[in-house]
Amino acid sequence: MTTTPLPEHPDWLWRNPEPRSSYDVVIIGGGGHGLATAYYLAKHHGITNVAVLEKGWLAGGNMARNTTIIRSNYLWDESAAIYEHALKLWEQLPEELDYDFLFSQRGVLNLAHTLQDVREGVRRVNANRLNGVDAEWLEPDEVAKVCPILNVSADTRYPVLGGTYQPRAGIAKHDHVAWALARRADEMGVDLIQGCEVTGFLKDGDRVVGVETSRGRILAGRVGLAAAGHSSVLAQRAGFRLPVQSHPLQALVSELHEPVHPTVVMSNHVHVYVSQAHKGELVMGAGVDAYNGYGQRGSFHVIEHQMAAAVELFPVFARAHVLRTWGGIVDVTPDASPVIGTTPIENLYVNCGWGTGGFKATPAAGLTFAHTIATGAPHPLNAPFALERFTTGALVDEHGAAAVAH
Amino acid sequence: MLLISCPWCGPRDETEYHYGGQAHVPYPETPADLTDEQWAEYVFYRDNPKGHFAERWMHSLGCRRWFNVLRDTVSYDVLAVYRLDEPRPELPTLRDLHQTAEAAGGNR
């Protein structure tokens, strides 16, 4: 019997440099958004004297914990614009980064189980089309054609009354996305510094001039905060407040199965979203745990609830076994839309509040945040998502399209 | 699953309760005089500490009364439970962490 030799270990995708004493820009948070921000700072603005500081390991927070769903079918013009721009970037990034991160446009179904769901879904499809987002309303028999293993019979507790469908939506391999961005950013001169926790901010009056870290003092011309669940903690260290609450958000995978699930199914009403990863695991998530938490774990009854919903929708899953469950910390805003913009501290910028939906926005978050940091003013796509909206009242309420209970 | 002692009913599973967010946020005394910034603070901004947090819970499947909980947002340990008319307690010592129903004021 001949054995196939293991493939060569790939070259390291990025250096592991020691932090220098100063940078033009320091990004706090080495997740997807921080890496994408560094990438676009270098690519679009020619700013390469940049450090990304990550307290743990690269992309080990929510970038490693999300359910990898990518879609742009949000209700309001402001959201549709930024998420659709992200989707268009996703469509070109594998080639641009020369890295096949398995972006699979297999479509996303958002199911409706009540008359109210149906009305909201149809309204959202119409709004999406006006914004150039591919969206369709499917009746139950059409839902069954897209996803044959879904139980669309009338004799369930919450029958499927239809659903919205976005064919260009899909999933991607989250770790590979981070590695692809990290490799390119590194090649352009960005220092990716792991194991480097920001413990304080150096300020000259109301202007930030650097950060204190677990690996020493680092001076910075500008500082970008992209720390997801820990944004409040860092904002407090910098001396301002953010309108976000940090919650645990849990997900789980089954053991590997043959390909049975051709698309992504989300149900707001019975609280589950499911896809099947390329390797074969069923990947599921649900709503956030109600309480504030930084523990990267949640309560088991939330898992039980989402499993019940999944088995109701997919009877074929009844004998599948859970392989593992985990949690991440998501920072949720009052209107379920992100905050990307300036802060009360000069030269300190913030990208936070993505709540349960940050992964899908990774390229657009990076592009707009890089623009905001480089020019000191927001890109047209993120101008509506300024911190000031909570004072002016111009909220962008996406609780419906966020599709995850907050 | 958290185990929370309702001040009136004693220890019950988390699923019997509803979460109410940060405690001790009083309604503005002179609402007509508030600036937009002050209204934004009151309506949208809440503390989000990593560590001890005083928060409201409601025993929605029991006595349906609101009360306050002092909880650690990292370990999720419930550190103290107290009624709305009681001040936030000083930090309890370790042996007080797991209160009985009687100690927590239950079974009255």
Q: What is the pLDDT of residues B31-58, one digit of tens each?
A: 999 999 999 999 999 999 999 999 999 9
The C-alpha angle with vertex A72 and arms to A69 and A73, in degrees rounded to 5, equals 110
Find the length of chain B. Answer: 108
Tokens of B8: 């009136």
Q: Are strands A216-225 and A22-28 parallel, antiparallel or unpaired?
A: parallel
Q: Is residue B71 part of a domain?
A: yes
- Chain A segment 86-125 residues within 8 A of B by beta carbon are none
Interface test with B, best of A294, A300, A350 (most B CBs within 10 A): A294
Q: How far apart are CA A246 and CA A335, in angstroms?
A: 14
A322 phi, psi to nearest 5 deg: -75, 130
- The CATH number for B59's domain is 3.30.2270.10
Minimum distance, in Å, between the CA of residue B7 and any CA atom of chain A: 19
- Say whether A300 and B46 touch across the interface (CB within 8 A): no
- Say whether A245 and B46 touch across the interface (CB within 8 A): yes
* Dihedral sign of CA atoms A317, A140, A301, A397 in order: positive
Q: Identify the domain containing residue B23 by its residue range.
A: 3-103
Report the residue of chain B nearest A303, measured CA to CA: B1
B47 phi, psi to nearest 5 deg: -60, 150
Residue A72 has pLDDT above 60, yes or no: yes
- Chain B segment 63-102 residues within 8 A of A by beta carbon are 71, 73-76
DSSP string, A20-79: -SEEEEEEE--SHHHHHHHHHHHHHH----EEEE-SSSTT-SGGGTS--EE----SSHHH
Residue A10 has pLDDT above 70, yes or no: no
- Say whether B48 and A391 touch across the interface (CB within 8 A): no
- Say whether B73 and A243 touch across the interface (CB within 8 A): no
Q: Give the pLDDT of residue B54.
A: 97
Please classify residue A377 by burial: count the beta carbons closer than 10 Å to its beta carbon, then call 0-12 exposed, 13-18 middle and 19+ buried: exposed
Q: What is the pLDDT of residues A159-216, one digit of tens each?
A: 999 999 999 999 999 999 999 999 999 999 999 999 999 999 999 999 999 999 999 9
Q: What is the pLDDT of residues A336-353, one digit of tens each?
A: 999 999 999 999 999 999
**Packing angle between helix A77-96 and helix A362-375, nearest 10 degrees?**
100
Minimum distance, in Å, between the CA of residue B87 and any CA atom of chain A: 21
Q: Give the pLDDT of residue B96.
A: 53
* Residues B88/B52, Cβ–Cβ less than 8 Å: no
Q: How far apart are CA B51 and CA A315, in angstroms?
A: 41
Report the residue of chain A nearest B45, measured CA to CA: A243
- Say whether A334 and B1 touch across the interface (CB within 8 A): no
Q: Does A243 touch chain B (CB under 8 A)?
A: yes
Residue B105 has pLDDT above 70, yes or no: no
Q: Give the pLDDT of residue B101.
A: 58
Minimum distance, in Å, between the CA of residue B47 and any CA atom of chain A: 8
Averaged over B83-88, what is the pLDDT?
94
Q: How far apart are CA A330 and CA A401, in angstroms?
A: 17
Instruction: With beta carbons under 8 A apart, name residues in chain A contacting B1.
Output: 299-301
Q: Tell me how many domains chain B contains.
A: 1
Q: Give the pLDDT of residue A402.
A: 72
A332 band by pLDDT with thresholds 50, 70 and 90: very high
Of B19, B41, B46, the CB nearest to A290: B19
Instruction: With beta carbons under 8 A apart, name residues in chain B contacting A334.
Output: 43-44
The C-alpha angle with vertex A186 and arms to A181 and A189, in degrees rounded to 5, equals 135
Residue B104 has pLDDT above 90, yes or no: no
- B26-30: long-range pairs with CB below 8 Å, 24+: none
Q: Does B58 touch chain A (CB under 8 A)?
A: no
Q: Is residue B108 part of a domain?
A: no
- Say whether A290 and B40 touch across the interface (CB within 8 A): no
Q: Does B107 touch chain A (CB under 8 A)?
A: no
DSSP string, B61-106: TTT--EEEEEEETTT--EEEEE-TTSPPPPPPPGGGSS--TTTTT-
Q: Is residue B20 part of a domain?
A: yes
A7 phi, psi to nearest 5 deg: -65, 155
B90 band by pLDDT with thresholds 50, 70 and 90: confident
Average pLDDT, chain B: 90
Minimum distance, in Å, between the CA of residue A262 and any CA atom of chain B: 34
* Dihedral sign of CA atoms A63, A67, A69, A73 in order: negative
Q: What is the pLDDT of residues A223-236, one digit of tens each?
A: 999 999 999 999 99
Q: Give the pLDDT of residue A195.
A: 97
Q: What percent of chain A has pLDDT over 70?
A: 97
Q: Give the pLDDT of residue B82.
A: 96
Q: Does A394 touch chain B (CB under 8 A)?
A: no
Average pLDDT, chain A: 95
Identify residue A288 by its one-letter amino acid code: V
**Packing angle between helix A32-45 and helix A362-375, nearest 10 degrees?**
50
Q: How many CB atoms lie within 10 A of CB A150?
A: 23
- Say whether B74 and A244 touch across the interface (CB within 8 A): no
- A301-306: long-range pairs with CB below 8 Å, 24+: A301/B1, A301/B13, A301/B14, A301/B15, A302/A250, A303/A250, A303/A252, A305/A271, A306/A250, A306/A252, A306/A271, A306/A272
Q: Give the pLDDT of residue B108.
A: 47
Instruction: With beta carbons under 8 A apart, name residues in chain A contacting B59.
Output: none
The C-alpha angle with vertex A298 and arms to B84 and B17, in degrees rounded to 5, equals 30
- Say whether B1 and A392 touch across the interface (CB within 8 A): no
- Residue A166 to residues A71, A84, A105, A143, A292: CA-CA distances in angstroms? 7, 11, 9, 12, 32
* Residues A342/A369, Cβ–Cβ less than 8 Å: no
- Say whether B48 and A301 touch across the interface (CB within 8 A): no
What is the ipTM score, two decimals? Answer: 0.92
Beta bridge partners of A271: none
- Say whether B36 and A391 touch across the interface (CB within 8 A): yes
Residue A259 has pLDDT above 50, yes or no: yes
Residue B99 has pLDDT above 50, yes or no: yes
Q: What is the pLDDT of residues B13-33, one digit of tens each?
A: 999 999 999 999 999 999 999
